[in-house]
Structure 1
Amino acid sequence: MALFFDAAWFDAALAERGLSRAVLAAAAGMSEAELALAYKDQRELSAREVAAFAEILGVSAAEVADHAGISTPAPRAEPAADALARLESLERRVAVLEAELARLRPG
C-alpha cells in the first residue's frame, strides 16, 4: 500500500491504455487542476473518484485506493435507487472518452 499518491503507477496505467491525465480527470468528473492536486498529495480522492479511476484503468477500486494513499476510501456498493444516476454518469464519461478519441484520430 502506498503512503502517498503513486503518480508513476497512475501514469503507467494511463500509458498502457493510451490515455492522458485529462481523460482520467474528465472520466472522474474532476478538473485537471483537481487531479493535479491529487497527484501532488494535496487532495484526496473521493470514493466516487476511486471507482471512476478503477473503471477507466481496468483495475479494482482497492488497487486504485492502494496506489492513491492510505486514507483514500474504497467505494462501497451503491443502492439500487442510485443506479440511474450511475448510468447517466457513465454515459457522460463515455461521451468524454469518445470525444477525446475522435480528437486523437488522424484525418
Structure 2
Amino acid sequence: MYNMLNFIPDDMGEVQQKLFWLKANGYPDATEQEVIEKTILDGVQYMFDDALEGPYWTVIWDDTDKKLAVRGATSEIVGYIIPRENHSTFSDDFREASPLTWENLSKQVEKLIGSD
C-alpha cells in the first residue's frame, strides 16, 4: 500500500484522502486542520529545497497557520510568508482556493530567494 505520510496534498480532495489514510493507518486523532497546516509547511519547505538545490533554509511556524518564518543557513530569519490578502489563516486560504494559495506561496518563495 502507498504510504501517504509524507504526501503533500494539492487541494482539499487530496487533504481528505490523506486524512482518511492517516486515520486508517495509526493516526486516529488526525484532523483536517492538522493536515492542511502540515501541507502548507511541507509544501513551502519543498519549494525552498527545490529552488536552493538542497535543505539550506528551514521553514517554521512563526504563528501557527498565520505566518511562516524562513531561517537561513546560519539560522537567521531571512523573511516571512503570509496568507493571501483578505485571509487571516493559510487554512482558510487553502480551503477557499488551493491553486491561488500555492501561487501566493510560490511568489513569496521566489521573492525571498531573489532578495538573498
What TM-score do you get using the length of structure 1 for normalisation? Answer: 0.26
User: Which one scores higher on RCO, CA 8 angstroms, separation ≥ 6?
Assistant: 1
Which is strand-richer, 1 or 2? 2
What TM-score do you get using the length of structure 2 for normalisation? Answer: 0.24
Asked which structure has the greater CA Rg, the reply is 2
